[in-house]
Amino acid sequence: MTFSLAHYLGRIGLDRIDFSPDGLDALVKAQMRSIPFENLEPLLGSVPNLAPASVWRKLVSDRRGGYCMELNMLLGAALDAVGFVKRPFLGRVRMGAPVGGPRSHYAWIVGIDGREFLVDSGFGGPGAHGIVPLAAVGTEHRIGGRLFRLRADAATGELVLERREESGWFALYGFDPFPVTDADVEAANFVCARWEKSPFPAHLMLSLHRDEGRAAMFDTSLTLESADGVGKRTLASADEFAAVLDGTFGLRIDRGTVDAVWSRIGGALSDAA
């Protein structure tokens, strides 16, 4: 199976998707609440398969997560099924830097009722938990409890998505209107998964926008947001890691894969215990 709207809606917990900006926003939020950001394949040395049937099997049938290429490819299939008009972009990740790296972040611009929106379910924890209007660059938008804006960068010709922090505006990534081909996406996927300067082969990254607050992991560090605040702890064993994958992120991971990932992120910690 490559895509079934009924099965997809069941995976993300929606009864329907309205063809409206509110419906588009609800779609993005629902996927981000249901399908986590995770990079287990690149961390273990393989390149994620972006064939539609493979993405469907992994994210829907096997109830796994993925990183931006996979998450936004599945979201794109849902956009097509509902009839939204979309075009892809490959952004340059900044994460606070004044300029971005290679074109490696895959997401969408969606047009509806004469308006355009940045639509992105694949930037993990720092990204917007919902759609961002492209009009009125510089206008602040409260999305998922955080403030975001788009800023025009004259030096690069990009629009830059920024998030408000206590220290000021923090640049997440920039993107431009240049066309993107399937070959561009395939090359970006390989760069993300195998390039020695990419973070994905070196560090575990997990994120899920739960109803009670965002959950995130970076290597062995777990962060849980809730109405009571932000809690952080360091996992100390593969058993604890397996419990968090299942109970917090809803990931069905076989024990062999759990142990292999733990040996990459927690082996030194376990050996020293």
Name the residue ranges covered by the structural domains of the chain: 5-194, 212-272
Mean pLDDT to the nearest integer, 40-65: 97
pLDDT value of residue 85: 96
**Do 52 and 3 contact (CB within 8 A), yes or no?**
yes
Mean pLDDT to the nearest integer, 171-197: 96
Confidence band for 142, pLDDT divided at 50, 70 and 90: very high
Please report, as a single letter, which amino acid is at residue 40: L
Mean pLDDT to the nearest integer, 140-145: 91
For the cut 90, the answer to whether the pLDDT of residue 162 exceeds it is yes
Q: Does domain 5-194 correspond to CATH entry 3.30.2140.20?
A: yes
Percent of the chain with pLDDT strictly greater than 70: 97
pLDDT value of residue 139: 94
This prediction's pTM: 0.95
Phi, psi of 131 (to 5 degrees): -80, 155
User: Could you say which DSSP state residue 101 is in?
Assistant: -
**Do 30 and 131 contact (CB within 8 A), yes or no?**
no
How many C-beta neighbours within 10 Å does residue 44 have?
A: 13
Phi, psi of 144 (to 5 degrees): 60, 35
In Å, what is the CA distance from 7 to each residue of 19, 73, 130, 197, 212?
A: 19, 16, 22, 37, 25
For the cut 80, the answer to whether the pLDDT of residue 267 exceeds it is no
Structure tokens at 227: 């109405």
Beta bridge partners of 46: none
Mean pLDDT to the nearest integer, 66-94: 97
pLDDT value of residue 272: 40
